Amino acid sequence: MEKKVLWRVIVIVAVVAAALWSLWPPEEKIRWGLDLEGGVHLVLQVQTDDAIKAELDDAAQRLVSLAQEKGVALGATAVDAETFRFSVEVPAGADREALEDLIEGNFPDYDITRGGTSWTVAFQPNIERFIRDQAVRKGLETINNRVNQFGVAEPVIQRQGIEGDRILIQLPGVDDPERVKKIIKSTAFLEFKEVMQGPAPDRPSLLAGSAGLPPADGEVMSGPRTGIAGEALGRSYYLVKKSSIITGRDLRSARRSQDQYGMPNVQFDLVPSAAEKFGQYTSSHIGTPMAIVLDGNVMSAPTIRARITDSGVIEGNYSVEEAEDLALILRAGALPATMVYLEERTVGPSLGHDSVVRGERAAVAGLLVVMVFMLIYYKLSGLNANLALMINIILLMGAMAYFGATLTLPGIAGVVLTIGMAVDANVLIFERIREELKVGKTVRSAIDTGFSRAFGTILDANLTTLIAALFLFQFGTGPVKGFAVTLSIGIFASVFTAVFVSRTIYMITLAGRDRVQTLSI
């Protein structure tokens, strides 16, 4: 065998061997998408207005706290999320110059409008857009952490659109969709707050001594009230400080545990900076209650008995599963804003199995029909095309396994389309060879000319298809991306097999033969 033929054979064998190695075992290497394996498909919308309000609330409270540390007493604050600003009452005797320096030094993203007894602090241009974008990014990261800790294999979690506020979630193989949805949607914002007054059976009783209104630095919160046996007895109301002692952002870890009676609870550990802050507060407030607030609900309000530093316990009459889920959510972090379900679909395993069977039948039937046609119409040259086609499929599946691509029902459609495209390239070459033979060229010359002149057409046709596939991948979601990935890989494999493999097969066939009079084509 000539050297130029030998090195081509070595390249083909090496590429096929690498594809088979990447693909084996196929049941482990090829991942199935939601439509084939069954599972949950969700589209969530991040309520970015919540993130705007939370940012303004936090800024207003920080301003009051920082001013108090500097000896500047401020009055009530009012947040207007629609205009992206908050106002604060500045008493007549306050040091306005010190307050102005404080705002400029600690709130660089805000502009100040100075009034008489009321100052307005508003977002600078584009800050609102940045906060909304960060809310979606943080939501995406948090959901990703929660799903990964839950143990879902090969989930799809991605943002829809470059600056969109929607998040697509596909969870193949989930057998308890309601539990997963609850874990994903739960905001899980944990706060520890100082209790100013309470508990009380209702809001009027709680605020009876203050004309029915909470003080400027306080707010009313409620939580479930239960009996000794855990039965629901209504709600208890508390007057708590607006500012939090620590929040869920200060947690280092959280895990399910149990109390001395064997009841499930959640034990948490704090980061060092928060532990020091928490220790200072608890040591100076021994004998007073402290509210543990989750998503605006007071889960419990235990009395501080001793200094607490780096760890604590959240109790709330949880079941084992509820305590496990709460610990998981706290570990993953709180969502930055509320999530709203826009779309929800559950694909059962029976439907997924039916899709697999029908997809396989379509692919096999299409492959057989194409191979039979090529043999009938192009005779022994059709055998050349069929061999290249089989190698093409091996390369396609091996590349999908190597890159970790997910096979979906549209992806199977992409495989079927790739089969047709691979044969299409051979058809262009074979027809060109036929034309060269008709004008009287020798077999070797006709093959050389057929491949060289058909190459430009094949390249143009596949390049335009590849451009369309790249756009589908960039702007599509879910199954559309699966189709685009399969089609793109198939295009590269088709060009390789039609131009390189088929040519090599002809070279092997003609090797060692001095004069070839006819070609079966």
**Any idea how long the chain is?**
521
Looking at the structure, tell me whether residues 204 and 62 fall in a common domain. no
CATH code where residue 503 lies: 1.20.1640.10
373 and 496: one domain? yes
Classify residue 168: in a domain, yes or no.
Answer: no
- Domain count along the chain: 3
Structure tokens at 2: 């000539």
Angle at 79 between CA 78 and CA 85, to 5 degrees: 120
Helix (H, G, I), strand (E, B) or coil at 378: helix
Look at residue 135 and tell me if it is in a domain. no
Same domain membership, residue 413 and residue 286 = no
Judge whether 130 lies within some domain: no
Question: What is the β-pairing status of strands 251-258 and 264-270?
Answer: antiparallel
Spacing of C-alpha 337 from chain mean position: 16
Summarised one tens digit per residue, pLDDT across range 404-463 is 777 777 777 777 877 777 788 888 888 888 888 888 888 888 888 888 888 888 888 888
Question: Distance between CA atoms of 207 and 220, rounded to whole angstroms?
Answer: 9
Residue 75 included in any domain? yes
Q: Of 125, 141, 175, which marks where a domain is finished?
A: 125
Residue 283 CA to residue 287 CA, distance in Å, equals 10
Claim: this prediction has a pTM higher than 0.85: no
Does any domain span residue 283? yes
pLDDT of residue 350: 59
Q: Determine the residue type at 146.
A: R
Is the omega angle on the peptide bond into residue 172 within 30 degrees of 0, that is, cis?
no
Please give the residue range of the domain that contains residue 98. 48-125
pLDDT tens digits, residue range 1-39? Answer: 577 788 888 888 898 899 889 888 877 777 776 667 777
Please indicate, yes or no, whether residues 32 and 57 belong to a single structural domain of this protein: no
Tell me, yes or no, whether 159 lies in a domain. no
Burial class (CB in 10 A: 0-12, 13-18, 19+), 149: middle
Choose one of 98, 125, 152: the last residue of a domain. 125
User: Can you tell me the distance from the alpha carbon of 218 to that of 206, in angstroms, rounded to the nearest whole number?
Assistant: 12
Sequential DSSP letters for 5-51: HHHHHHHHHHHHHHHHHHHSSHHHHSEE-HHHH-EEEEEEEE-HHHH
Q: Of 343, 373, 399, which closes a domain?
A: 343
- Asked if the structure places residue 515 within a domain, the reply is no
Residue position matching structure tokens 């090797």? 511
**Based on the domain organization, do 317 and 386 belong to the same domain?**
no
Low-confidence ranges of the chain (pLDDT < 70): 1, 33-35, 149-154, 175, 187-188, 226-232, 315-317, 332-334, 348-353, 477-479, 512-514, 516-518
267, 305 contact by CB (below 8 A):
no
Whether 248 maps to a domain, the answer reads yes
CATH number of the domain that residue 98 is part of? 3.30.1240
Angle formed by the axes of helices 380-403 and 409-438, to 10°? 150
Residues 380 and 491 in one domain: yes
Q: What amino acid occupies position 490?
A: G
